[in-house]
Structure 1
């Protein structure tokens, strides 16, 4: 009489539930980037709204491309996404200026107030149409280092 061993093999089959049809595979807008990341993290729009410090309606409008976030919300948006949506050449002064403004969530007007210049002047610097005075440049370089 031989000893028979019963071998039992257990395996677990993991099936991932597909993302909803509204999941943006190749996001282009801010809203699509937010929706994609939110869905990947399995968050509700109300959860994202709390994270970003805005209303649920804001998130809904952004995700549906009915409106765009104001610049003061971009620091929180970039922190949530883990990357910046603003692509600039930071080797040039104009790019450093624009990147700084977006990272800090500053409008042309607000940065202009900080520097004692008009909002259109800041816009002109960003476009490379003009260059800051020596004094303004020194102030900006100090801001960039912070």
Structure 2
């Protein structure tokens, strides 16, 4: 399959696909993850999540949401999501329970 065909399926151009294949792009925008996973038929994130921070990020990517969009759903500041995902901060006990329901774990 050509990169241009993959790009059409995922919703981007062939140059972006080439950059992803070469690992030239460090951060793939979240909006592409659902289509990437659909195309590949698996999640390309190599390491299964073990921490709440990793589970939050993986769930967000599976939904195709960036941190700002995810924060709006949770009614928190985008910086809060950033800190949660980096492990710099932990959600409050109440929020952590809400997150566990949302992300399933």
What range is the shorter-chain TM-score in? 0.7 to 0.9
- TM-score under structure 1 length normalisation: 0.57
- Secondary structure of 1:72's aligned partner: helix
User: Structure 1, unaligned stretches of length 5 or more?
Assistant: 1-42
CA 128–65 in structure 1, closer or farther in 2 if over 3 Å, else same = closer
Query: Which residue of the partner structure matches residue 70 of structure 2?
Result: 111
Spell out the pairing of 1:1-146 with structure 2 (5 A cutoff): 43-63=1-21, 67=25, 69-145=28-104
Structure label with greater radius of gyration: 1
By percentage of residues, which structure has more helix? Answer: 2
Tell me: higher relative CO, structure 1 or 2? Use CA pairs within 8 A at least 6 residues apart.
2
CA 66–86 in structure 1, closer or farther in 2 if over 3 Å, else same = closer
- Greater than 4 Å deviation, 4+ residue runs: 63-68
Shift of 1:54: 2.4
Task: Give aligned pairs, total.
Answer: 103
- TM-score under structure 2 length normalisation: 0.75
